[in-house]
């Protein structure tokens, strides 16, 4: 049977995530949960399928927003393949010396070998603006399991596809020949080349977990309780409500044209201060142009809605949106994926 690209790129349902950027503390628990679970094999040392960067910043891979890819006028637009160094290299540490060298507290962990020149969140907490109105926020990033996955379209081996039942973008590693057209095409630069296996690899939305009703590791381990998971068409679930009804969850760089299914509640920030220390309630601390550059023009409506709903509660009223974002009950984050992984049998 001949399978068309169209067949590989469509799905009946779409799983999605929403990250509330107002609650992210940049702790990297999501990054580490993913790393420990999925990217510990040979050739994966430098792979971080989930990374959290400080914004404004150059990101990981370094300057990924300038690397091209995505669609232009509806046609795949090949971009640059990030180098291993731009992704952070994969540092080696002096573990043996510290843990087994018998040197006590006289030694500490540090990278060994060639000095690293970049890494995930290299520009940690630098941010932007001028004191006292400086600002930053954290931006967790992973594969967006796009509705129009240009990586799938670009693969000449038909190794990549969207799963029909949940829209998760996967790869058949036995078909992949490591041509890296998917890396060129992905505008989010969230595919990594495995230098040992000579194939490309990327986030799998923890599909073995979601098949058993368990939320992806990045979401479940997040101590900030800010990552919602579910299906976009589940009208009673938080994902549908935040993305489609309230329209406060919006995608990153929608202009890339791939239809990302990781959405973000944009960051509010404290009020700006005037020179005399009084509060300026009219000028946003995070420049609107900067947020528009990241999230497109819809960010303004999203922020207006958030502010209006916050004001309601401040004035003693009730807000369903604020209640949803507070997440009184942890499991409400995970839609149908609320099972405890510790209680299941894994083969
Ligand atoms: S984020 Fe990149 S790798 Fe993931 S589905 Fe979209 S285009 Fe493909
Ligand atoms: S685990 Fe949660 S709070 Fe920590 S960096 Fe990731 S998304 Fe942010």
Which sequence spans correspond to the domains of the chain? 5-91+118-343
Q: Looking at the CA of 155, which ligand is closest?
A: 1
* Pocket flag, ligand 1, residue 186 (CB < 6 Å): yes
Nearest CA to ligand 2 atom 2: 222
* Pocket flag, ligand 1, residue 150 (CB < 6 Å): yes
pLDDT 10s digit of each residue in the chain, 347 long? 668 999 999 999 999 999 999 999 999 999 999 999 999 999 999 999 999 999 999 999 999 999 999 999 999 999 999 999 999 988 889 999 999 999 989 999 999 988 889 999 999 999 999 999 999 999 999 999 999 999 999 999 999 999 999 999 999 999 999 999 999 999 999 999 999 999 999 999 999 999 999 999 999 999 999 999 999 999 999 999 999 999 999 999 999 999 999 999 999 999 999 999 999 999 999 999 999 999 999 999 999 999 999 999 999 999 999 999 999 999 999 999 999 999 988 77
> Where do the H-state alpha helices sit in the chain?
5-8, 29-38, 84-87, 95, 150-154, 181-185, 207-210, 217-221, 238-240, 288-295, 298-314, 320-326
pLDDT, tens digit, 9 for 90 and up, residues 154-195: 999 999 999 999 999 999 999 999 999 999 999 999 999 999
Distance 17 CA to ligand 1 centre (A): 14
pLDDT, tens digit, 9 for 90 and up, residues 126-148: 999 999 999 999 999 999 999 99
pTM of the model: 0.96
Nearest CA to ligand 1 atom 7: 186
* 285 Cβ contact partners less than 8 Å away, ≥ 6 residues apart: 129, 133, 135, 269, 270, 271, 272
Between β-strands 75-76 and 71-72, what pairing exists: parallel, antiparallel or unpaired? antiparallel
Give domain 5-91+118-343's CATH number out of 3.40.1800.10, 3.30.70.20, 3.40.1360.10, 3.40.50.300: 3.30.70.20
């Amino acid at each position: 049977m001949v399978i068309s690209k169209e067949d590989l790129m469509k799905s009946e349902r779409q799983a999605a995530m929403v990250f509330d950027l107002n609650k992210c503390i940049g702790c990297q628990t999501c990054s580490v949960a993913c790393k420990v679970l999925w990217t510990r094999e040979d050739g994966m040392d430098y792979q971080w399928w989930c990374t959290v960067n400080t914004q404004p910043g150059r990101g990981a891979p370094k300057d990924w927003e300038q690397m091209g890819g995505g669609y232009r006028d509806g046609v795949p637009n090949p971009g640059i393949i990030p180098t291993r160094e731009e992704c952070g290299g994969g540092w080696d540490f002096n573990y043996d010396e510290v843990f087994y060298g018998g040197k006590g507290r006289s030694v500490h962990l540090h990278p060994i070998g060639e000095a690293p020149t970049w890494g995930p969140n290299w520009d940690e907490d630098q941010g932007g603006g001028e004191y006292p109105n400086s600002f930053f926020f954290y931006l967790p990033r992973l594969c967006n399991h796009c509705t129009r996955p240009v990586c799938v379209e670009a693969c000449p081996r038909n190794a990549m596809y969207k799963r029909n039942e949940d829209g998760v973008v996967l790869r058949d590693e036995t078909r992949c020949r490591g041509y890296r057209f998917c890396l060129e095409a992905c505008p989010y630069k969230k595919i990594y080349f495995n230098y040992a296996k000579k194939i490309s690899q990327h986030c799998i939305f923890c599909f073995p977990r979601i098949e058993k009703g368990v939320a992806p590791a990045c979401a479940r381990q997040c101590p900030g309780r800010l990552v919602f998971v579910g299906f976009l068409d589940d009208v009673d679930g938080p994902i549908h409500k935040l993305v489609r009804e309230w329209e406060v969850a919006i995608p990153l760089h929608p202009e890339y044209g791939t239809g990302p299914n990781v959405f973000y509640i944009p960051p509010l920030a404290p009020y700006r201060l005037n020179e005399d220390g009084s509060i300026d309630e009219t000028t946003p601390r995070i420049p609107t142009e900067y947020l528009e550059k990241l999230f497109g023009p819809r960010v303004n409506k999203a922020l207006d809605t958030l502010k209006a709903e916050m004001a309601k509660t401040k004035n003693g009223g009730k807000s369903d949106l604020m209640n949803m974002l507070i997440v009184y009950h942890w499991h409400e984050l995970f839609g149908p994926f609320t099972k405890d992984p510790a209680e299941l049998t894994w083969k």
